[in-house]
Amino acid sequence: MIKLCVFDFDSTLMDGETIAFFGQAVDKMDEISAITKRAMAGELDFYESLKERVKFLKGVEVAKIEQIAHSLPFIKGAEQIIKYLKEKGVLVAVFSGGFHIATDHAQSLLGFDINFANELHSKNGVLSGEVGGEMMFGDSKGKMLKRLKGLLGLDSKQVAAIGDGANDISMFKEAGTCVAFCANAVLKSAATHIIDIKDLTELKKIL
């Protein structure tokens, strides 16, 4: 029986990539999206690609980023699937290579239990182009899931993980049920289940 369900955020719960939406503020959405696409396909080191993408945001006002973060679109079924899991007594976590400014707000709307992400560094209300946090590396999600399992006394068969990109592979290694959701080929090869319909309520057939 599943007791912990971990979701990726970008392109899994949220419809798109947070940093690409932020890129609209500096008219760099295309450049950022191109780097993100390669990173999620496993072609680039996640840490290096994250730093490179965040540099584009240097000089943007935090208030502008917050405004964008609070208007991100969710994938169809996001709210329903979290409600469904919570009603079953499942602890729901979000692991994001993106940013707390987006995931914290999403938590207040969707009702998941906890989230781990990164922080955009700022000074005097303006982004510095630097980033730090809990999900900086390609293997960060796996390491965090391993810690959570230890804290909660869970084994892999009690854990489900849902994601779409290469940086979700490490958490798949710590979960018994691994769902590649509208995912890159590199993640599909590591999954126990594949969903290619862009509707999170499809997870009810698995979880």
**What is the block-wise mean pLDDT of the chain (207 residues), using blocks of 10 residues?**
97 96 90 89 91 94 96 98 98 97 98 98 97 96 98 98 96 98 96 98 97
10 is catalytic: yes
Buried b (16+ CB within 10 A) or exposed e, 59-81: ebebebbeebbeebeebebbeeb
Predicted local confidence at residue 37, as pLDDT: 87
Q: What percent of the chain has pLDDT over 70?
A: 100
The answer to whether the beta carbons of residues 31 and 17 sit under 8 Å apart is no
The active-site residue, picked from 8, 15, 45, 104, is 8
- Read off the pLDDT of residues 80-103 as tens digits, 9 standing for 90 and up: 999 999 999 999 999 999 999 999
113 is catalytic: no
Antiparallel, parallel or unpaired: β 126-133 and 114-123: antiparallel
DSSP secondary structure of 46-113: HHHHHHHHHHTTTT-BHHHHHHHHTTPPBPTTHHHHHHHHHHTT-EEEEEEEEEHHHHHHHHHHH--S
Residues in contact with 8: Cβ distance below 8 Å, sequence separation at least 6, in sequence order: 94, 95, 96, 97, 141, 162, 163, 164, 165, 168
- The Cα–Cα gap between 60 and 172 comes to 35
Q: Which two tokens stand for residue 176?
A: 């018994």
pTM given for the model: 0.95
Predicted local confidence at residue 42, as pLDDT: 85
Predicted local confidence at residue 29, as pLDDT: 86
